Amino acid sequence: VPFLRILGIETSCDETAAAVVERDAEGHSKVLSDVVLSQLDEHSAYGGVVPEIAARAHVEALDELIEEALARANVSLADVDAIAATSGPGLIGGLLVGLMTGKAIARAAGKPLYAVNHLEGHALTARLTDGLSFPYLMLLVSGGHTQLILVRGVGQYERWGTTIDDALGEAFDKTAKLLGLPYPGGPAVERMARDGNPDRFNFPRPLVGEARLDFSFSGLKTAVRQAAQEIAPLSDQDVADICASFQKAISRTLKDRIGRGLQRFKAEFPVTGEEPALVVAGGVAANLELRGTLQALCDKNGFRFIAPPLNLCTDNAVMIAWAGLERMATGAAPDTLDVQPRSRW
Ligand code: KG4
Ligand code: ZN
């Protein structure tokens, strides 16, 4: 394997990030730097990410973050082999900022540019952190995505399931909002749920029992709203019970949906030696109850359950640099400088 060192740039949502990752000739990979600036404070007053604010914040921060990533890695631009920048999916303003910056650096420094799909970054992270080999299943659960993806190889992805309405993180955020909990809602709902009774409300578990592997969470949110309206004004205990019941409904849903995915994987790839693996990524993967559910499901089905460290589960530039590295290592041609960002890629 060739020695490769890549500078990664991520600006698709509300995190501005830059990182340097390398892999040596023996195949050992190393994160040389990982710089992330969260814009959370700038958006929280609005209860969600405001695209225009995000784009401007990326413009203000990105140059310095890249300098910092190079400095912490103790390398200069001359020492990197390529630039990798997220070019979709995501908020178009932020994507433009990151991709244009990546193009400019690539042009000025005479380096190849890899325009990376953000989801590919999430999908390949477990190969950096756990040396996982293909194929494996990945569940991405964030504020913007809920997808079950078969990862066959670099550039070879099959989407087995997706949400037909809200993303899972979005369901947490909206539920939190209607219960008067702060943004982002996931951590707040999880905290409240600890003191709640998960059996007080019997919330719906959409699509449970269906053969296809999709998800749906908007009905759940509606059921929470109705329950909250019926018993208003809500005491703290009411809120805790709703949160606990909400999480239980999600746990049950994941158990059914992902359980089917694991069965399908086993049918398509009969076990030959190494245990099959399920990787989880995205901010919702921070939720301990959902993690416990997935761990138990994997144990039961003979799967390894892999959850990369939280800073690499949520948005970061290490995964973008790594995806660029993996593509370069396969000998794939870099992107040309007329490559365009794709909001809905
Ligand atoms: O991956 P991420 O940081 O950003 C993107 O969406 O790209 O995910 C953020 C989402 C938010 O919807 C947030 O509410 C959710 O992840 N989240 C959680 C928890 N921590 C963050 N959801 C449930 N439980 C948590 N502990
Ligand atoms: Zn993400």
ipTM of the complex: 0.98
* pLDDT of the residue at 272: 77
Q: In angstroms, rounded to a whole number, what is the distance separating the alpha carbons of residues 46 and 136?
A: 38
Is the separation of the CB atoms in 101 and 83 below 8 Å? no
* Residue 184 beta carbon below 6 angstroms from any ligand 1 atom: yes
Cα 284 to ligand 2 centroid, rounded to whole Å: 10
Q: In angstroms, rounded to a whole number, what is the distance separating the alpha carbons of residues 73 and 65?
A: 12
**In the chain, what percentage of residues exceed pLDDT 70?**
100
Whole-prediction pTM: 0.94
Q: Report residue 291 as tokens.
A: 């993690």
- Exposure string over 240-260, b if 16+ CB within 10 A, otherwise e: bbbbbbbbbbbbebbbbbbeb
Extract the residue ranges of the chain whose pLDDT is less than 50. Answer: none
Q: How many CA atoms lie within 13 A of 121 on its CB side?
A: 30
Is the separation of the CB atoms in 175 and 221 below 8 Å? yes
Ligand 1 atom nearest 314 alpha carbon: 1
The amino acid occupying position 59 is V
* pLDDT of the residue at 48: 84
* Residue 186 beta carbon below 6 angstroms from any ligand 1 atom: yes
* Residue 308 beta carbon below 6 angstroms from any ligand 1 atom: no
Q: Would the annotation count 173 as a binding residue?
A: yes
Domains present along the chain, CATH in parentheses: 4-128+315-329 (3.30.420.40), 143-309 (3.30.420.40)
Q: Would the annotation count 144 as a binding residue?
A: yes
* pLDDT of the residue at 24: 95
* Residue 90 beta carbon below 6 angstroms from any ligand 1 atom: no
DSSP 239: H
* Residue 287 beta carbon below 6 angstroms from any ligand 1 atom: yes
* pLDDT of the residue at 274: 84
Cα 307 to ligand 1 centroid, rounded to whole Å: 14
